[in-house]
Amino acid sequence: MIAQPASNGIPEYADPSSLPAHVGIIMDGNGRWATRNGLPRSMGHERGVDALRETVRAAQKLGLSYLTVYSFSTENWRRPMAEVTALFALLRHFIKKDLKRLKSENVKISVFGTRAGLPEDVCSLLDMAVEETAGNSRFNLGIAFNYGGREEIARAAKQVAEKVATGEMAIEDFTEEAISRHLDTHPFPDPDMIIRTGQEHRLSNFLTWQGAYAELVFMDVLWPEFGEPQLREALEKFGARERRFGGLGKEAG
C-alpha cells in the first residue's frame, strides 16, 4: 500500500485514501532497550530521541499530515526523579537542536498537556517551539508532554461548564462536539491510527477521547529501534483494515 517516493521526493500512492491523516505514537521501551544493552536508562531515552527524529522525517516523507507523539505522561512523575530530570533535559536538547530545522521544513509544532509542575525553562521552550512554528503548514507535529487523556477531558468539560454557567453557552450546546473543540488537540483531527511500541498492549491514557475509533497497532519493537521501516509496516497494517465506525462492514452489504 505504501509506495516508494518518486524522483521529486514526493511519495506516490496506489490508493491515497488508505493513508491515515493523523497517527499517534506511544513511544515505549526506552528503558528496556537500555537494560537489554547493558546501558543506563538515560541512554535509552537518548536513543529514543534519535528514533523520534527519524520517525518525524519518515512521516513527512511518506505523506502523513499529522503526527502526535506521547513523550511524557502525567503518570511519569511517579518515576525516579533522576529519570524525570533526564527526560526534561532531553526535551530541552531536542527543541534547541531541532527547532531550526523543523521550522525550515515548514513543520508546525503543537504541545498538548498541562504545564502544572513543569520547570519554567521547559515551559518557555515549549512556548517558543509553538510560537516560532505557528505559521507553518506542511506537516503538523503534536507533542503530548505532561499529558494525560482523562485530565485533558476533565479540563475541557470544565471549560464548557464554565461557559454554560456564565451564559456564554446554552446547556443544550454542552455536547460531544463542544468538548472536542475544547481539547488540547483541537483542531487536529482524531487519530486514525495509534501505534504503541515496547510490547505492551494498552493506551496508557493517551488520546483517550480522540482515539475512540482509532486503529490500534501494537509492535514488539522497542522505541529506540523504531524508524521508517516500522512506520511503513504499521501503515501497511492500517491500509489492510476495514474501518466501520460502528456500522456494518462491506461483507454485510
153-194 pLDDT, tens digit per residue, is: 999 999 999 999 999 999 999 999 999 999 999 999 999 999
H/E stretch holding 208 reads: none
The residue annotated as part of the active site, out of 15, 28, 140, 146, is: 28
Domain containing residue 137: 19-212+223-236
Residue 86 confidence (pLDDT): 87
Name the residue with cell 455536547: 175
Q: What is the CATH number of the domain that holds 33?
A: 3.40.1180.10
51 assigned to some structural domain: yes
249 assigned to some structural domain: no
- The closest of 237, 235, 242, 241 to 3, measured between CA atoms, is 235
Give dist(CA 77, CA 95) in Å, integer. Answer: 21
Q: Supply the mean pLDDT for the chain.
A: 91
Q: Binning pLDDT at 50, 70 and 90, where does residue 248 land?
A: low
The number of domains in the chain is 1
Does 65 show up as a binding residue in the annotation? no
Does 29 show up as a binding residue in the annotation? yes
243 assigned to some structural domain: no
242 assigned to some structural domain: no
Does 68 show up as a binding residue in the annotation? no
Give dist(CA 89, CA 160) in Å, integer. Answer: 35
37 is catalytic: no
Residue 8 confidence (pLDDT): 36
What average pLDDT score do residues 244-252 get?
A: 62
Contacts of 146 (CB under 8 A, 6+ apart): 72, 73, 74, 113, 114, 115, 116, 117, 118
Q: Binning pLDDT at 50, 70 and 90, where does residue 13 land?
A: very low
106 is catalytic: no
Question: In this predicted model, what pLDDT tens digit does every residue of 47-66 receive, in sequence order?
Answer: 999 999 999 999 999 999 99
8 assigned to some structural domain: no
Does 45 show up as a binding residue in the annotation? yes
Q: What percent of the chain has pLDDT over 70?
A: 90
CB-CB contact of 198 with 44 (8 Å): no
241 assigned to some structural domain: no
90 assigned to some structural domain: yes
Does 75 show up as a binding residue in the annotation? yes
The residue annotated as part of the active site, out of 8, 15, 50, 76, is: 76
Is the confidence at residue 67, as pLDDT, over 50?
yes
191 assigned to some structural domain: yes
CA distances from 47 to 69, 90, 179, 197 (A): 15, 10, 37, 14
Question: In this predicted model, what pLDDT tens digit does every residue of 95-106 receive, in sequence order?
Answer: 999 999 999 999
Q: Which of 42-46, 68-72, 141-145 has the lowest mean pLDDT?
A: 42-46
Query: pTM to 2 decimals?
Result: 0.90
